[in-house]
């Protein structure tokens, strides 16, 4: 089956009542909003659609909402914002999950200085060494250019101590202004290879979608479409949740598809890439436009 390439969301919008829309690589990549993205959201809201912005950002939802407002995407463009960082924060706050109930209060942050605000208001002590920690809070790297290898000693030490890890962003990489950067998911993947115990928050993990469905209030999952640029997160997560998806080809897979961001992809190459991943989105588009 060939994955069709569509010109804009208008070709699919009438089939769905709710939309789950990624941020990075779909609405923007750290700079200005992508041309046409805000208008597309306007069209959906004008048609009475429900829109949840779902991000694997390791920051609180209000932080991402504030950043979106700065680039011209505000509350009138969507109904809710939910981030993986928010989900991690709530679990650390409530500790109703037995896995979280067993965690101590001293945490070592892999990305201390960049993502510490997600822990504000929690009864936690951020410590400076793995040896003093009860668990690892992994929201990403300290510096944008850092690679997984830069954290090899930290991860190995934590694994020897059998420290659990909270991963607040399952993404492996993200494209920022044309440059690929390592995300928290890459550190978590390396930690699991060392035998580490990781609890993930965000796409593609099922609990995130249950929270989204509660926000949407749409019981028929055939009427929900997920939109994202990541096969291993957005598209895989949608498939696992039993909803359709639209792949934005100009995001993290642009290089693999042989295109520049915003260029229309070749349907055959999209189909081959999706088949390699064992996934079948309903369609692909160069970018999120109406």
pLDDT digits (tens, 9 = 90+) for 93-136: 999 999 999 999 999 999 988 887 889 999 999 999 999 999 99
In this structure, of 85-99, 176-190, 206-220, the range with the lowest mean pLDDT score is 176-190
For domain 5-56+203-285, the question of CATH label 3.40.630.30 is answered with no
Instruction: From 285, 274, 205, 272, select the one nearest 246 (Cα to Cα).
Output: 285
For 207, phi and psi rounded to 5 degrees? -55, -30
Give which of 225, 235, 227 is closest to 273, Cα–Cα: 235
Residue 56 confidence (pLDDT): 94
Cα distance between residue 283 and residue 290, in whole Å? 14
Residue-wise pLDDT for 260-271, tens only, equals: 877 899 999 999
pLDDT of residue 278: 97
Domain ranges (residues) in the chain: 5-56+203-285, 94-200
Query: Over the stretch 47-73, which tens digit does the pLDDT of each residue have?
Result: 999 999 999 999 999 999 999 999 999
pTM: 0.91
**Equal CATH topology for 5-56+203-285 and 94-200:** yes
pLDDT of 263 reads 84
Fold classified for 94-200:
Rossmann fold (3.40.50)
Please say if the pLDDT value at position 191 is more than 70.
yes
Is the pLDDT reported for residue 175 higher than 70? Answer: no
CB-count exposure of residue 185 (10 Å: 0-12, 13-18, 19+) = buried
pLDDT, the chain, mean: 94
Measured from the Cβ of residue 251, the count of other Cβ atoms closer than 10 Å reads 23
Q: Please identify which residue in the block is written with the tokens 């679990």.
A: 91
Using 50, 70 and 90 to split pLDDT, how confident is the model at 252? confident
């Amino acid at each position: 089956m060939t994955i069709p390439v569509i010109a804009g969301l208008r070709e699919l919008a009438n089939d769905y009542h709710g939309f789950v829309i990624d941020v990075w690589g779909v609405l923007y990549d750290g700079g200005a909003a992508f041309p046409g993205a805000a208008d597309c959201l306007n069209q959906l809201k004008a048609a009475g659609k429900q829109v949840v912005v779902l991000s694997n950002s390791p920051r609180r939802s209000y932080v991402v909402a504030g950043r979106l407002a700065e680039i011209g995407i505000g509350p009138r463009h969507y109904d809710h914002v939910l981030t993986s960082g928010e989900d991690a924060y709530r679990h650390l706050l409530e500790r109703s999950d037995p896995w979280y109930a067993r965690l101590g209060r001293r945490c070592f942050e892999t990305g201390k200085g960049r993502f510490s605000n997600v822990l504000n208001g929690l009864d936690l002590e951020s410590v400076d060494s793995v040896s003093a920690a009860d668990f690892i809070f992994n929201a990403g790297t300290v510096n944008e250019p850092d690679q997984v290898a830069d954290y090899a000693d930290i991860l190995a030490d934590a694994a020897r101590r059998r420290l659990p890890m909270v991963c607040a962003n399952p993404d492996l990489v993200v494209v920022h202004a044309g440059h690929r950067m390592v995300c928290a998911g890459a550190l978590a993947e390396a930690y699991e290879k060392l035998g580490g115990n990781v609890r993930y928050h965000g796409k593609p993990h099922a609990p995130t979608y249950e929270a989204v469905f509660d926000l949407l209030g749409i019981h028929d999952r055939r009427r929900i479409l997920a939109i994202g640029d990541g096969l291993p997160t957005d598209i895989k997560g949608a498939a696992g949740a039993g909803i359709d998806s639209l792949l934005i080809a100009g995001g993290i897979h642009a290089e693999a598809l042989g295109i520049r961001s915003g260029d229309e992809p070749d349907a055959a190459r999209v189909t081959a890439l999706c088949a390699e991943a064992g996934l079948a989105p309903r369609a692909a588009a160069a970018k999120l436009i109406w």
